[in-house]
Structure 1
Amino acid sequence: MSEKTGSGKRKWRMEAPHPFVILFTVIIIMAIATYLIPAGEYDRTQSEDGKSYVVDGSYHQIDAKPAGILPVFEAVHKGMVQSAPIIFFIFIVGGAFNVFRESNAIEGAFGSISSKLEGKEMYLIPIVMLFFGLGGAAIGMFEESLPFILIMIPLAIMMGFDSLVGTGMVLVGVASGFTAAFMNPFTVGVAQGIAEVPIFSGMGLRVIFWLIYMVVAILYVVRYARKVRKNPESSLVYEEDKKRNIRVDLVKEHTLTGKQITTLIILVATLIGLGFGVIKFGWYITEISALFLIMALIIGLVNGKGINGTAVSFVRGCEELVVGALVVGFAYGALVILQDSSTIDTILYGITALVSQLPSGLAAIGMYIMQCLLNIVVTSGSGQAALSMPIMTPLSDLLGVSRQTSVLAFQMGDGLTNIITPTSGLLLAALAMAKISFAKWFKWVWPLILIQFILGAIFVTIAHVFVWPA
């Protein structure tokens, strides 16, 4: 892009590509790959509970179905359709939280307690991260954490941090807990069931791994938060945060009003209801969306907006998230290309073949790396378990790796890339809500992901050599 300077000369400057451009480029790359990767598939069998499992040793090549020019563009619409539940979840939660934000309840609450938190703001980070880490480890919380980002960002900024800290407290916390989970029913439970080992067995060791994982994650966020608090201009999102419509002046000038207290009570009741529904009734996106719609309506009426005013406020929240919500559909479009060309199973088969060539001492690490790579393509935890564990289980028997270790390799590999890969719907949705570019997020989080990757490799090795030898 060029622009004229005062002297009339044109000055060239780089312009960051739009997220749609980046992801459509990924779709094109995936389409090209379908001409290089043979089409193939595994046979699958249906269990009594209706789940589909891969049949080990059944991989076979089929007629190639490379993506043509039209399918590349069709993939965008198909991706939007496949990810529609997440897209509209983003819109609904974003709209609902805008109704909440416009009550200024967070600013008022922080103004009331700012004197008590003075000098103790850093304590918020471990408390919040441990809360989400426990949710990810115990009940498989992941997508359900998205609404909290809209609460933590303004709170973090008011405390002298930035939006990366606010987002990181939620996203890094829940992802770290999910990765090193000790009783996540969607990863550990499913994988152990397929591997035919007692459900949630080995919990003691997993709790130790979880604690180490969480401590490292918390220290990483705290270290960055201290840096930003000391020098705000060192923030990676300093310019972006200056443009946010967060009224920090209310912190010093305002205390909670009666309506704001009621608003906060409604919010807390909503979040308690969310946790209860997820744990007790297995709520997911549809039920949670309905819950936040109810919250938005009640908060709007309590704050005197009326039905029309609440609707207008809700729409304003949706408008802010249009690009971010549709980005999720583009990301799914890349996976559609691999699905329609029947190359996902070939990728799985190829990685499995490589792992099988490793000596027993390195086989567990090979399985861990394979799961890390597979998670880039198959971002669903239970889906990856159903796809890979029927193969990993007999493979672990052949390679001299215990089935318990193969489950650990799966769960560590499954969660690691969830907050760094652009194919993760949760990540894109979270960044859309946070209004943080993928490039800035990647720059901030990749050192932590590298540290956690090394930790995962150490955990798997310890389990393989010392705890669960075959």
Structure 2
Amino acid sequence: MEKVKKKKVPHTLVILAIIILCAVVLTWIIPAGVYERVENAQGVEVINPDSFKYIDKSPVNPIKIFNISMDGFKKASTLIFVILFSGASFNIITMSGALQSLIGVVSKKTESKEYLFIPILTFIFGLICTTQGVNTFIGFAPVMVMIALAMGFDSIVGASIILLGGAVGFSTGTLNVNTTIVAQEIAGLPPYSGLSYRAVCFVIFYIITNIYLVRYALKIKKNPELSPMYELDKTRKLDSSSHDEFNSSMNLRKWLVITTLFGALGLIVYGGVKLDWKLEQTAVVFIWLGILAGFAAGFNPSQIAKYFVDGAKKMVGAALIIGLARTVSGVLDAGNIMDTSIHSMTSWLNFFPHILKGPVLYIINIIVNMFITSGSGQAAAVMPIFAPLADTIGLTRQTAVLAFNFGDGFCNYILPTSTALMGILGATDIPYDRWMVFMGKLFGIWVIVGSILMVGAQIINLGPM
């Protein structure tokens, strides 16, 4: 059979560079315009929707791109430090093996109880992925598949426990530094504001997703031949010898690490909501989290320093993406076409009934995510436009952040460019087309549920707190 060569998707930085060049070209074509800015009741600068006017063109010189880029990195510097330090501290926690052991223990205790096994495991992965990406657990995916097969399910159930649980945690954006906090900082909102409504979204998506997954699992257990993986699973041989970290038991040190993690997250949320903390204070908490978790795990100072640096290195790509994505809005601002774009989008969105404007923003973010799969990069690229756009179409900026969360997150589990999805499918030998047989209907349900929750956010006028 002739092998079909797959097209390689360009790196996110390349995609952003192309978008920046397109933005420069547009400054020479699109008329320049401005809105008047005023302070709202929360002290946030917002657009006066009735104040738009056209001004003289100010096209951007392509030679100035890197000057604008440096300004973008400067404005995003505090945010970049938060991401570097959060990656560093979570790497120390990962190296301690505490999260892996906790998941392994729960798996063993519930593997003979189908009605508990799936909901409990998806809940744990969901909670963890409120702060981390799903690709953290690519190494655990083969073990999860082995457990699922031993219980009479198929490999899709094993992979789904990680992917779908993680999807709910990541996509509802309750605590995620790389997505929610980036978006809120750009929108001028307090960190972790709107947490209660996003928590409600987490619960709703968690319940609906588990109903879908449990029904599928029980159907496959009763009639294995209905599985898209039926023939492939019959020949499956997975080696668990390289996953001993998930088979190790919890001990005092690991419980201390887990306690330190949840204590730090609780402190960050409390500080952001009650003490008006900014990103600088959040970055400091992540530094302390890394140090305390390292000592709790029994690491010496040199080990803590090594793991801290290694974790920060893993986040350099995200930091570069954020800085470069800020260049897009910088170019639009320099060419005075940002407000013109907002004015045009406002006119287009006003064709829709007000109650549908939130869902439309959600759909737009899904489309954008097909091109910019980095959550932090997408936030830095779209929120400078969507935050003021929300002002002009009568939505709160918190609603715009929620639309970004949903649009950025949920379609990562159908996109063949998603590292988390393709990494776990590759680790478990599940072909993409077989996955989509299972996943297509659920994604449609997610879109409908997300649209309803967007309408709910509009009805309650979801605010900064």
Give TM class, smaller chain.
0.5 to 0.7
CA distance in 2, matches of 1:328, 1:221: 35
| Residue identity matched to 2:144 | M
Q: Look up the match of 2:13.
A: 20
Q: Structure 1 residues 44, 449: closer, same or farther in 2, change over 3 A? A: farther
Q: Look up the match of 1:348.
A: 342
CA contact (8 A) 1:122 1:222 kept: yes
Q: Look up the match of 1:299.
A: 293
Q: Look up the match of 1:124.
A: 120
Q: Look up the match of 1:321.
A: 315
**Superposition map of 1:451-470 within 5 A:** 452-455=446-449
| Residue identity matched to 1:159 | M
**Structure 1: which 5+ runs fail to align?**
1-10, 133-143, 179-183, 192-199, 236-241, 394-405, 423-430
CA distance in 2, matches of 1:116, 1:26: 50
Counterpart check, 1:36 vs 2:29: yes
Q: Look up the match of 1:7.
A: none
Q: Look up the match of 1:263.
A: 257
Q: Look up the match of 1:418.
A: 405
CA distance in 2, matches of 1:225, 1:75: 52
Q: Structure 1 residues 262, 19: closer, same or farther in 2, change over 3 A? A: same
Counterpart check, 1:248 vs 2:219: no
TM-score by length of 2: 0.64
Q: Look up the match of 2:360.
A: 369
| Residue identity matched to 2:31 | P
Q: How many residues align?
A: 393
Q: Look up the match of 2:412.
A: none
1:85-108 CA distances to partner (integer Å, 9 max, x unpaired)? 232222211111222222222333
Counterpart check, 1:169 vs 2:162: no
Counterpart check, 1:159 vs 2:115: no
Give the superposition deviation at 1:347: 1.4
Q: Look up the match of 2:53.
A: 60
CA distance in 2, matches of 1:156, 1:282: 39
Q: Look up the match of 1:392.
A: 393
1:71 equivalent among 56, 64, 69: 64
Q: Look up the match of 1:93.
A: 86
DSSP-derived class of the 2:46 partner: strand
Q: Structure 1 residues 125, 233: closer, same or farther in 2, change over 3 A? A: farther
Q: Look up the match of 2:280.
A: 286
CA distance in 1, matches of 2:256, 2:20: 47
Counterpart check, 1:104 vs 2:89: no
1:222-255 CA distances to partner (integer Å, 9 max, x unpaired)? 799999x9859999xxxxxx9xx99512333x32
1:5-47 CA distances to partner (integer Å, 9 max, x unpaired)? xxxxxx9874432222122111112222222221111112234
CA distance in 2, matches of 1:164, 1:325: 29
Q: Structure 1 residues 249, 167: closer, same or farther in 2, change over 3 A? A: same
CA contact (8 A) 2:35 2:53 kept: yes
CA contact (8 A) 2:32 2:57 kept: yes
CA contact (8 A) 2:110 2:117 kept: yes
Comparing 336-345 with 269-278, which one deviates more in the overlay? 269-278
Q: Structure 1 residues 30, 411: closer, same or farther in 2, change over 3 A? A: same
CA contact (8 A) 1:274 1:291 kept: yes
Q: Look up the match of 2:131.
A: 146
Q: Structure 1 residues 208, 21: closer, same or farther in 2, change over 3 A? A: closer
Q: Look up the match of 1:6.
A: none
Comparing 339-348 with 370-379, which one deviates more in the overlay? 370-379
**Structure 2: which 5+ runs fail to align?**
146-156, 175-179, 188-193, 234-238, 369-377, 410-417, 427-431
- Cα-Cα RMSD: 5.3
CA contact (8 A) 2:101 2:249 kept: yes
Q: Structure 1 residues 412, 389: closer, same or farther in 2, change over 3 A? A: closer
DSSP-derived class of the 1:159 partner: helix
CA distance in 1, matches of 2:10, 2:83: 23
Comparing 362-371 with 49-58, which one deviates more in the overlay? 362-371
TM-score by length of 1: 0.63
Give the superposition deviation at 1:219: 5.7
CA contact (8 A) 2:72 2:327 kept: yes
Q: Structure 1 residues 284, 66: closer, same or farther in 2, change over 3 A? A: same
CA distance in 1, matches of 2:19, 2:382: 22
CA contact (8 A) 2:402 2:454 kept: no
1:267-289 CA distances to partner (integer Å, 9 max, x unpaired)? 23333333433443244533232
1:116-171 CA distances to partner (integer Å, 9 max, x unpaired)? 02144311355358869xxxxxxxxxxx9434758766666653378886465345
| Residue identity matched to 1:87 | I
Q: Structure 1 residues 294, 378: closer, same or farther in 2, change over 3 A? A: closer
| Residue identity matched to 1:248 | H
1:399-458 CA distances to partner (integer Å, 9 max, x unpaired)? xxxxxxx66xx7666533435559xxxxxxxx89x6979xx99x9899877655555666
Give the superposition deviation at 1:346: 0.9
Q: Structure 1 residues 368, 40: closer, same or farther in 2, change over 3 A? A: farther
| Residue identity matched to 1:326 | L
Comparing 384-393 with 368-377, which one deviates more in the overlay? 368-377
Give the superposition deviation at 1:337: 1.6
DSSP-derived class of the 2:96 partner: coil
CA distance in 2, matches of 1:386, 1:93: 25
Q: Look up the match of 1:337.
A: 331
CA distance in 2, matches of 1:118, 1:383: 46
CA distance in 1, matches of 2:202, 2:97: 36
DSSP-derived class of the 1:38 partner: coil
DSSP-derived class of the 1:305 partner: coil
1:167-186 CA distances to partner (integer Å, 9 max, x unpaired)? 653454454477xxxxx9x9
CA contact (8 A) 2:361 2:403 kept: no
Comparing 54-63 with 363-372, which one deviates more in the overlay? 363-372
